[in-house]
């Protein structure tokens, strides 16, 4: 009994608390621990990665930035991305625009297909080996603040579960409940700025994957976005990633359109899997896992303030996603690293105020993260207002190429007329030109 009494009087204190052991949190904790800080990494799941779900790919530049000897560590990754691009579905057909070889034949490759729960667990093991103290199965429910309102610790759901530190880095993921509680953002996620993605992992023997996807061997992998018939004209798209002996296929749709159109995500998913061009790819396969996750696609315009008194935020909680380039894991990793370093610098100054922690924002401004997010700030809105890029244009491309490669023995002038008409039937020509111009402007960031 006296033992518990003693415990009661002793505060559980660290130099830094990181909430959430995903890629952002794991990296934030690691980079601070490397500098000598005593770090608590709090994870609500049974193990790190247990709540993490993605497509998807991780990016070599971010991994090597954290571990220069990354490849010697034998990371649990699936296949390098050696072919990437777009598949455009019509009702029964498909046009593929993919690139392979060339830029994608580096060793190591720029991107690797992985399984996030496995990779995430491994990533945090690396962090623990460098001194990070992991507290799993623990939910952070609120913050502890000092008299001035600065965050000086967290309240967990464990009995006597207060943990103290002068800095807390929030890496809670897309459901930014703590980010809101910290006062870093004044509104909840908006349904039109998040995509709900559902995915199935389907086991297929490696040699069948290689044959069906046209990959020379298991050291080659394919990552594609699928547009067109998949989303029924809603803002959304599909994706396919080849793992070693399984295929990851998913559909993502803006959350606000699902119920507006009485479409259930798993029904859309099944429709995708039954598409005549898709079904043969996974025929005979067993479903290994189904799951779903929100992606914060609002970007720049939906970002919270990134620092406050005693607090920083990184990763999905800070909407660090570039939807067009499939970037998210790398932003989380690099932002986590920068947040950990900013926490260390605050310790050196012994100043944990917002003014001191602002260095994190400065670091992000210099990195690709905020530069890109600023440049793409209108992209989310663009997609919401230009559904045609998901549906009408892929349909047109299929029709046009289909006619071009099948119109034998008929006057070609008529053929071109038919092709043009198949576009103008869908969309006035001037509007189509306007769409392409505004797409360009959105990408350039004007």
Partner 1 sequence: MNMKSEKEIRETEKVRQIGEELEPVFVDDILMSLKYYVDEEQAHLKIKDSEACKTCVGRGCLYFCPVGVYSLQADGTIQVGYQSCIECGSCRIRCEKDNIEWKNPRGGFGVAYKFG
Per CB under 8 A, residues contacting partner 1 are 44-47, 49-54, 115-120, 136-139, 156-158, 174-175, 177, 188-191, 194, 196, 198, 200-201, 232-234, 246, 255-256, 258-271, 274, 287-294
Report, in Å, the least distance between residue 289 CB and partner 1: 5
Report, in Å, the least distance between residue 202 CB and partner 1: 10
Report, in Å, the least distance between residue 246 CB and partner 1: 8
Report, in Å, the least distance between residue 291 CB and partner 1: 6
Q: At what angle do helices 329-349 and 368-375 cross, to 10 degrees?
A: 130
For partner 1, the closer of residues 54 and 352 by Cβ is 54
Report, in Å, the least distance between residue 116 CB and partner 1: 3
CB–CB of 128/437 below 8 Å? no
CA 185 → CA 181, 196, 308, 316, 319, distances in Å? 8, 21, 11, 14, 11
Report, in Å, the least distance between residue 232 CB and partner 1: 5
Nearest of 204, 221, 171 to residue 282 by alpha carbon:
204
CA 161 distance to own-chain centroid: 31
Phi/psi-derived region of residue 193, left when phi > 0, alpha when psi is between -120 and 50, beta in every other case = alpha
Structure letter (DSSP) for residue 131: T
- The number of C-alpha atoms within 13 Å of 352 and in the hemisphere containing its C-beta is 23
Nearest-10 Cα torsion for 72, 74, 76, 80: 50
For partner 1, the closer of residues 194 and 369 by Cβ is 194
Report, in Å, the least distance between residue 205 CB and partner 1: 17
Strand order in the sheet with 167-170: 133-135, 39-42, 16-19, 167-170, 311-313, 307-308
For partner 1, the closer of residues 169 and 253 by Cβ is 253
For partner 1, the closer of residues 116 and 182 by Cβ is 116
Residues in a beta bridge with 199: 250, 291
State phi, psi for 43 to the nearest 5 degrees: -130, 130
Report, in Å, the least distance between residue 50 CB and partner 1: 4
For partner 1, the closer of residues 226 and 273 by Cβ is 273
Nearest of 13, 33, 53, 14 to residue 339 by alpha carbon:
33
Q: Which helix (H) or strand (E) covers residue 137, if one does?
A: none
For partner 1, the closer of residues 140 and 335 by Cβ is 140
Q: At what angle do helices 329-349 and 23-34 cross, to 10 degrees?
A: 30
For partner 1, the closer of residues 81 and 273 by Cβ is 273
For partner 1, the closer of residues 127 and 294 by Cβ is 294
């Amino acid at each position: 009994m006296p033992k518990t009494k003693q415990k009661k009087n002793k505060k559980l204190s660290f130099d830094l608390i990181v909430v959430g052991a995903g890629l952002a949190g794991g990296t934030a904790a690691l980079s601070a621990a490397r500098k000598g800080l005593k770090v608590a990494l709090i994870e609500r799941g049974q193990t790190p990665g247990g709540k993490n779900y993605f497509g998807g790919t991780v990016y070599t530049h971010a991994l090597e930035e954290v571990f220069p000897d990354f490849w010697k560590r034998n990371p649990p990754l699936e296949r390098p991305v050696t072919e990437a691009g777009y598949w455009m579905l019509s009702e029964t057909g498909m046009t593929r625009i993919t690139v392979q070889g060339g830029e994608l034949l580096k060793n190591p490759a720029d991107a690797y297909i992985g399984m996030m729960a496995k990779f995430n667990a491994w990533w945090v093991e690396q962090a623990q080996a460098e001194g990070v103290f992991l507290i799993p199965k623990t939910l952070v429910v609120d913050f502890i603040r000092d008299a001035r309102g600065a965050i000086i610790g967290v309240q967990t759901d464990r009995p006597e579960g207060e943990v103290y530190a002068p800095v807390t880095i929030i890496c809670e993921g897309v459901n930014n409940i703590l980010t809101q509680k910290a006062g870093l953002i004044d509104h909840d996620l908006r349904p039109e700025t998040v995509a709900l993605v559902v995915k199935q992992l389907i086991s297929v023997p490696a040699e069948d994957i290689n044959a069906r996807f046209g990959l020379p061997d298991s050291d080659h992998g394919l990552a594609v976005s699928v547009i067109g018939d998949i989303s029924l004209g809603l803002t959304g798209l599909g994706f396919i990633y080849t793992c070693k002996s399984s295929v990851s296929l998913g559909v993502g749709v803006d959350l606000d359109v699902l119920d507006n159109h009485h479409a259930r995500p798993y029904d859309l998913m099944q429709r995708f899997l039954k598409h005549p061009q898709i079904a043969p790819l996974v025929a005979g396969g067993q479903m290994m896992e189904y799951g779903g996750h929100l992606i914060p696609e609002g970007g720049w315009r939906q970002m919270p303030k990134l620092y406050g008194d005693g607090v920083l935020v990184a990763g999905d909680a800070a909407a660090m996603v570039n939807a067009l380039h499939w970037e998210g894991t790398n932003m989380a990793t690099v932002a986590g690293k920068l947040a950990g370093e900013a926490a260390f610098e605050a310790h050196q100054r012994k100043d944990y105020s917002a003014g001191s922690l602002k260095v994190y924002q400065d670091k992000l401004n210099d990195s690709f993260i905020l530069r890109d997010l600023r440049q793409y700030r209108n992209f989310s809105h663009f997609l919401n207002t230009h559904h045609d890029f998901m549906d009408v244009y892929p349909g047109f491309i299929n029709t046009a190429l289909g006619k071009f490669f099948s119109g034998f023995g008929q006057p070609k002038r008529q053929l071109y007329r038919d092709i043009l008409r198949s576009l103008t039937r869908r969309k006035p020509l001037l509007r189509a030109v306007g769409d392409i111009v505004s797409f360009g402007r959105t990408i350039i960031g004007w």
